[in-house]
Structure 1
Amino acid sequence: MLKNQEERLEYLIDELCLESSACKHLEEMRSEPEKLLRSLMNIRTSKPISEKFLKIQDRYLKCAAEEKGIVTLSEIPTIQEFYNSNIEFADRISLWKGDITRLHVDAIVNAANSQMLGCFIPCHKCIDNAIHSAAGIQLRDACHQYMTEKRKEDPTYEEPTGSAVITEGFNLPSKYVIHTVGPIVSWHLTEDLKQDLMHCYESCLKVALENNIKSIAFCCISTGEFHFPSDEAAIIAIKSVQSFLEKDPDKIERIIFNVFKDQDLEIYKGLLCK
């Protein structure tokens, strides 16, 4: 087995280039090998690969996760502890700003698209791309297997908006990934779109219950590429979580609202820290 990250990175790039004719279009990234590897993983469709590759990839990604810094649940205070919030269930809810792929929780939520295969655009900044890149190529394989089963009955099947599907987390610190398809706001926000987003949160929490998940981190579903207004999305997210906790107060021990932008942090703070 290769001994260091540099050797592993070189091996993984070489192997993926051998199986991909698209590699020649990414040659300008040779001076940025980490970016090149991620790009090659992003464009790769689900197909067989050697056990050796998977072992080296897994070792590389786990070391990369450790270098990036894994954040445990004990390092994330509740809003009651950190913000002295007195809203209902403040002892169960956390607000954390950062990279969701660093979180060592039972499950993180991925804002997926209806194809359910991850983002194929090299190094795209969407959370779908980030999660698949950190998890490894097995995550796309798992999603492909799920979609293949669905398309046996309906070859045109696309995952419905508001649904949720669980997979392993593979090389992520989190044990599971819960994929949900959020609503797309094309023109203006409607009540139907608000209901669709609420269903995303409800579906994810239902899947969490069914899989005995005790801690779950939500990204800001639909607020990126799908253009859902951040302030409205936060209101829906918080209401959905509080409504769930009213019905099942003891089933999930911690629910984390994970934000990446300062703007979203301020929105959630304004709503949660009263």
Structure 2
Amino acid sequence: MNASRPDSDVPAGKETRPSPLPLAAYRESVALDEPFRPPTASTDAGRPDAHVRAALRLLGADPAMARLGLRADSPGDVDGMDAETARALLRAVLTVRDPGPLPDGAAEAVDAVLDAERRLRPAVPVNGLPTIAERFPGSGFPAGRQTVLWRGDLTVLDADAVVNAANSALLGCFRPLHRCIDNVFHNAAGPRLRDDCHAIMTLQGASEPTGTAKITRGYHLPARYVLHTVGPIVDGRPQASEAQALASSYRACLDLAAQVETIRTVAFCAVSTGVFGYPRSEAAPVALRTVTDWLDAHPGRFDRVVFTVFGEEDEQAYRHALA
């Protein structure tokens, strides 16, 4: 899974961009150090459908609804939908919606939906996963005792920080129901994630350069933080400059995470693979080598770094690289 890019994006190396905004310049603007307090659990938390319908009613007049060619401001229209259709519509509305405050009452309803869904999904603690040294004792991987290869859904991984493969606008994917990791993260975390990214990008005043990263809170994710990085777009075999840009994305995430004292565990997605075109078989060695070098240069900074894969092809790429 990977995030979709805006059509206006320019591949790495084709555009000169200003220096990215440092953490100190936006940390307070996104209240990075304030823990997110989910809404109080409701009595019907195990059945989020009622909150979904309430949110749709409140969003009925929102421009995002009209953008989809749909309206849900009529109670009859909402009540007539089955639960799956109503949830898909709410997800689509929030996906295409621009950053900004939700209509009165809608934020609370959306929070109730996401809070209920999070508690229905069991979180996977990072520290309970076997390390690479334990799973692959014959690999001789230098960072094997500090790293993990895990196949699963990053939105259920209970790490301190998870890595999102973002686009240069850094606002998430705007394609309804698209199964890219960017969209998946924003759907699970909620619209505050896009609002934070918008605040950062407004302060920066320019698109995010390739090979850099930003950090926000994770909101309704089990992870407290999300690291958003822009990896290179590759067409065919990667060039040396693209391999350097991919390595830069991994380093940028670790460098940024290291500036937040409470982050002890970081979980990466397979940056730049999938729709971004970087061959999995060549991306995996770059990821392994870059993380190993970083951990070697910063001993003891992180307890665990996780390489998360979603599909069989991704996992085999890492297994082959470790072999």
The TM-score with structure 2 as length reference comes to: 0.78
Residue-by-residue CA offset, 1:204-260 (whole Å, 9 max, x unaligned): 000011112210000000102211110111010000000001101200110000000
Equivalents in 2 of 1:124, 1:26: separation in Å? 21
Equivalents in 2 of 1:143, 1:102: separation in Å? 21
Partner of 2:142: 88
The alignment status of 1:37 with 2:79, answered yes or no, reads no
Q: Which of 183, 187, 207 is 2:232 aligned to?
A: 183
Figure out how many residues of one structure are paired with residues of the other and give that number: 268
Gaps in structure 2 of 5+ consecutive residues: 1-41, 73-77
Equivalents in 1 of 2:124, 2:112: separation in Å? 19
Partner of 1:154: none
Partner of 1:147: 201
The alignment status of 1:254 with 2:288, answered yes or no, reads no
Q: Which of 122, 129, 142 is 1:69 aligned to?
A: 122
Equivalents in 2 of 1:145, 1:51: separation in Å? 21
Task: Please identify, of 33-42 and 235-244, the stretch whose mean Cα deviation from structure 2 is larger.
Answer: 33-42
Equivalents in 2 of 1:128, 1:116: separation in Å? 9
Equivalents in 1 of 2:213, 2:100: separation in Å? 24
Kindly indicate whether the alpha-carbon contact (under 8 Å) linking 1:17 and 1:23 is maintained by their aligned counterparts in 2.
no
Equivalents in 2 of 1:59, 1:77: separation in Å? 34
What's the secondary structure of 1:45's corresponding residue?
Answer: coil
Equivalents in 1 of 2:104, 2:143: separation in Å? 45
Equivalents in 2 of 1:54, 1:76: separation in Å? 35
Kindly indicate whether the alpha-carbon contact (under 8 Å) linking 2:49 and 2:87 is maintained by their aligned counterparts in 1.
no
Partner of 2:152: 98
Equivalents in 2 of 1:56, 1:103: separation in Å? 24
Identity of aligned residues (%): 36
| CA drift at 1:51 | 6.4
Gaps in structure 1 of 5+ consecutive residues: 152-156
Equivalents in 2 of 1:81, 1:47: separation in Å? 46
Equivalents in 2 of 1:55, 1:23: separation in Å? 23
Partner of 1:265: 315
| CA drift at 1:100 | 0.5
The TM-score with structure 1 as length reference comes to: 0.92
| CA drift at 1:148 | 1.0
Partner of 1:24: 69
The alignment status of 1:209 with 2:254, answered yes or no, reads no
| CA drift at 1:170 | 0.8
Kindly indicate whether the alpha-carbon contact (under 8 Å) linking 1:216 and 1:255 is maintained by their aligned counterparts in 2.
yes
Change (3 A) 1:174 1:13: same
Equivalents in 1 of 2:319, 2:109: separation in Å? 41
Kindly indicate whether the alpha-carbon contact (under 8 Å) linking 1:107 and 1:215 is maintained by their aligned counterparts in 2.
yes
| CA drift at 1:46 | 0.8
The alignment yields a C-alpha RMSD, in angstroms, of: 2.0
